[in-house]
Amino acid sequence: MKIIRSPAAMTAWSEGLRREGVTIGLVPTMGALHEGHRSLIREARLQCDALVVSIFVNPTQFGPREDLTKYPRPLSHDRAICRQEGVDVCFEPTVEAMYPAGFQTTVIVPAVARRWEGEARPHHFAGVATVVTKLFGMVRPHRALFGQKDFQQSVLVQQLVKDLNLGVDIVVRPTVREQDGLAMSSRNIYLSPNERRRAVVLYKGLQTGAKVIRTGETDARIIRSAMTQVIKGEPTLTIDYLAVCDPTTLEPLSTVRPKTLLLGAARIGTVRLIDNLAVSAIQGQRNY
């Protein structure tokens, strides 16, 4: 496996392969790789001839009071996972190479970024949209894989690729969960054993919402209140938002549709959890 740190060397490697007709896959990550990342890497390995995993803790997507400096950076562990999974290039640009002196462009996807995570974390999605655009420019992938875990991010990336004609095929893969259902996240290591046991309640709340929908309930207020009740039953969790929304526009719904997205974020101790469930309200169909 090659480790490439310079953007110019990354582009040169990709351009060489593109000329030979090789399809290039990219899995963008911030490192601290877990089974969720691994599932994206495995799928990319199957779908593409050559595979790049980028590891870059992007400072512009962190707020001033967020965990940028203490974000985990277990680089040798991450490289070992990439090697195990047959990754061709681990792309590890430096902050200085990403944002050299004089850098000034920001990519904004206003409507998708307005609500939920965008409201809770101002500037977060501008940071994400800008770094993803830059990574696509540097790696020139044919295809890039993202996790449903960050549902709003995946909608944002699809919108930006369409709007800016970036010509990258975006694949979104299901959320990988711990045995009890907690969505895997690099930040879960911050949870104390006690918090870890309780953290699953966010997912339980979303599952309750899905169950209520499957009983035939269509009123979003009733569904939200069922989810809220479950999560409030665990007082160590503080709800940031719980939403019943349209999976394409992310706008809140008053009545569920055949495809409805349940979105949630909650805080426990110093950790912010996010999760979602895409639910089919069509009789006989389960979550999609």
* Catalytic residue positions, numbered: 37
- Four-point Cα dihedral 47, 153, 178, 226, nearest 10: -130
State in angstroms the smallest separation of the CB of 83 from ligand AMP: 18
Kindly tell me which of 226 and 264 has the beta carbon lying closer to ligand AMP. Answer: 264
Structure tokens at 97: 């190479």
CB of 157 to ligand AMP, least distance (A): 8
Closest CA to 181 of 151, 201, 195: 201
DSSP string, 135-153: HHHHH--SEEEEEGGGHHH
C-beta closer to ligand AMP: residue 29 or 208: 29
Question: Shortest distance, CB of residue 74 to ligand AMP, whole angstroms?
Answer: 12
Cα 205–Cα 207–Cα 211 angle in degrees, nearest 5: 115
Q: How far is the CB of 103 from ligand AMP (least distance, A)?
A: 21
Q: Which is nearer to ligand AMP, 26 or 226 (CB)?
A: 26
Provide the 8-state DSSP code for 176: P
**Paired strand residues for 27:** 53
- Could you tell me if 25 and 52 are in contact, meaning their C-beta atoms sit under 8 angstroms apart? yes
How far CA 234 is from CA of 91, 178, 205, 229, 231, in Å, comes to 41, 19, 10, 9, 6
Q: Where are the beta strands (DSSP E) in 63-142?
A: 89-91
> Least distance (Å) from ligand AMP to the CB of residue 44?
11
Least spacing, CB of residue 150 vs ligand AMP, in Å: 4
Identify which of residues 149 and 224 has a Cβ nearer to ligand AMP in the complex. 149
Binding site residues, ligand AMP, CB under 6 A: 29-30, 36-37, 39-40, 146-147, 149-150, 175-176, 183-186
Largest CA distance in the chain: 58
Residue 168 vs 212, nearer CB to ligand AMP? 168
Instruction: Read off the tokens for 288.
Output: 């999609």
In angstroms, what CA-CA distances link 135 with 70, 102, 214, 241, 269? 23, 18, 40, 30, 33
Tokens read off for 101: 């002196």
CA separation, residue 100 to residues 3, 191, 205 (Å)? 21, 35, 44
Is the CB of 162 or the CB of 221 nearer to ligand AMP? 162
